[in-house]
Amino acid sequence: MPANLTMENGKASVMYYGDVPWHGLGTKLMSPATSKEAIVAANLNWNVVKIPLFAKTRVFTNIKDLRAMITDRDLNSDTPNILGTVGKNYTPVQNTEAFAFFDSIVGGEKAIYHTAGSLNNNKVIWILARLPGEIKVIGDDITNKYLLLCNSHDGSSSVQIKFTPVRVVCSNTLTAALMDGYTIKIKHSNNVLERLKQSKQTLGIIENGYKYIGQIFKEMVMTRMSKERMHKYFTAVFPDMKDEKATYYNRKNRTAVEKLSEIGYGTDIKGVKGTLWGAYNAVTEFVDHKPNQLTPDKQLYNIWFGSADSVKRRAFRLAENMKLWLN
């Protein structure tokens, strides 16, 4: 059983629509889910609450500036599961509010709730929604548009809304390192709910963000890459480091992606091989699908938030600014 997935009464707190997800667990929905259906199917139909935090010395002392986060199902428990410790001004975003965000920005039934669930014993919840439309890069090379919302209940991070386009031919997650104007991060402050409700503004960010992403992808496929340019790009993505061991592995990674740029998924599509688009997808295919020792759920977390995400963001930034450094 994947270590990070939250289990409720022997059942994974996950729902999915379509293909069986990475872990093989969860509730399968036979049709696209509404937010209300998804939240129940993923066992996320609970709220979090802040409770006073006490320190025990000779007596119990109230720690006035801190609060403990628990679910409302633990309110009457003698041994509640403490999700995390937060400041007194921390404003939680309930699961229903996170799902309602997607309903508000795309108009309720238009978003397809593809996958949703929780990790680390309900400390982190995520929602992956597919948006209407697609990006046609070249020929039959199509990228679907997704948004990933991640919300922590332990105070470890802000509400994050990530652009996660997925290339159909290989299921690569093409994490885009967009400029600040296209990045959505909302701190758990007093106005967090108000900011989530600013749907028209957020929709504009998303529409412009995906328009920009599509433009960059098409510029990539129009950029031809010699072997020298390809090597320079991959060296920038996987650079030599001061640490000899890190340099050794990065050089192995460069060899692997250079091979994928010739034989990887999608290289048989006319106009892809020998382009910056092909090189970028060699990187994303490598970090998403290379064999490793991670459990499937940890690999997904790595793809979305960990070192794999960092590599893909670096690869996108380098491709985006190619004209500034690649001669």
Q: pLDDT tens across 171-207, in order?
A: 666 765 554 555 677 788 777 777 776 656 777 778 8
Q: State pTM to two decimals.
A: 0.82
Q: What is the chain's length? A: 327
230-238 mean pLDDT = 94
CA distances for 260 relative to 237, 287, 297, angstroms: 15, 11, 25
Residue 297, pLDDT > 80, answer: no
pLDDT category at 4 given cuts 50, 70, 90 is: low
Domain spans of the chain?
7-44+93-213, 48-87, 219-325
Residue 240, pLDDT > 90, answer: yes
Residue 14: name the closest of 300, 285, 292, 284 by CA: 300
Please give the pLDDT value at position 178.
54
Higher pLDDT, 172 or 214: 214
How far the first Cα of the chain sits from its last, in Å, is 49
Instruction: Give percent above pLDDT 90 in the chain.
Output: 32
254-267 mean pLDDT = 94
148-167 mean pLDDT = 85
Please give the pLDDT value at position 165.
87
- Angle subtended at Cα 111 by Cα 131 and Cα 213, rounded to the nearest 5 degrees: 15
Strand pairing class (14-17; 112-119): antiparallel
Residue 250, pLDDT > 80, answer: yes
Mean pLDDT comparison of 11-20, 121-130, 132-141, highest-scoring range: 132-141
pLDDT category at 247 given cuts 50, 70, 90 is: very high
126-148 mean pLDDT = 88
Please give the pLDDT value at position 3.
46
Residue 59, pLDDT > 80, answer: no
- Spatial distance between the Cα atoms of 26 and 12, rounded to a whole number of angstroms: 5
Higher pLDDT, 100 or 76: 76
- Spatial distance between the Cα atoms of 18 and 115, rounded to a whole number of angstroms: 9
pLDDT category at 148 given cuts 50, 70, 90 is: confident
pLDDT category at 1 given cuts 50, 70, 90 is: very low
Residue 208, pLDDT > 70, answer: yes
- Spatial distance between the Cα atoms of 300 and 308, rounded to a whole number of angstroms: 9
